[in-house]
Chain A
């Protein structure tokens, strides 16, 4: 038996293949709840908005540049 075969056996012995179980019953409800949840701003979006606001307060002339790019 090659070294690779031995290693794969060790892996499978330590972590046997999964046995498919039934998914939770409430999954559809969770999907619907997630879809209907109000969209929240992510941290990245918030940080970007704060950064832009700070930059605009420091360099108000940048507003024209921003408007041009939007």
Chain B
């Protein structure tokens, strides 16, 4: 995470100073992009999440507590924006799953990677994000809990539920996990 900005810059940001906002964007956008990419797993979608997250941060700047970490606050906003992206992507994935083409495509001779990705995209966004961050990106549970604003125990239970759902979906697609 980038160094925490000084209090004066944050105070100016909270008061709507565009230059301060640009300075914060310059300092943090790469980190926010990296985090978003871990969740959405697509560079162009991660770009969209960054734009959305910074737009939301500026719109909600009055709610920012300047005594807290700006980086952690941005990561939470980016996580929410990424979750919205996953929600939209999931609607398409579920629609594809129920189409006749997808039924044919789910035959075992299709790539395992494709099946795993499809199964992942069919999970509810809250489960997708934890399984991606915890099992694929191998981020510490504490970091995930902080970004999602949930207790570590909830992260663990979501990972458990996600794993179970993924196994079921993969079995349905003809892959024995």
Known contacts A14-B117, A15-B120, A35-B58; is-contact A30 B51 (Cβ 8 Å): yes
Chain B interface, number of residues (Cβ within 8 angstroms): 35
In this assembly, does B161 line the interface, its C-beta being within 8 Å of a C-beta of chain A? no
How many contacting A-B pairs (Cβ < 8 A)?
Answer: 73
Question: In the complex, are the beta carbons of A23 and B55 less than 8 A apart?
Answer: no
Binding site for A on B (CB under 8 A): 22, 25-26, 29-30, 33-34, 37-38, 41, 43-44, 46-47, 50-51, 54-55, 58, 112-113, 115-117, 120, 131-132, 135-138, 163, 166-167, 177
Known contacts A21-B43, A27-B47, A27-B51; is-contact A11 B135 (Cβ 8 Å): yes
Chain B residues near A6: list those with CB within 8 A.
Answer: 177
Chain A interface, number of residues (Cβ within 8 angstroms): 24
Binding site for B on A (CB under 8 A): 4, 6-8, 10-18, 20-24, 27-28, 30-31, 34-35
Give which listed residue, A7, A8, A14, A18, contacts B113 with CB less than 8 A: A14
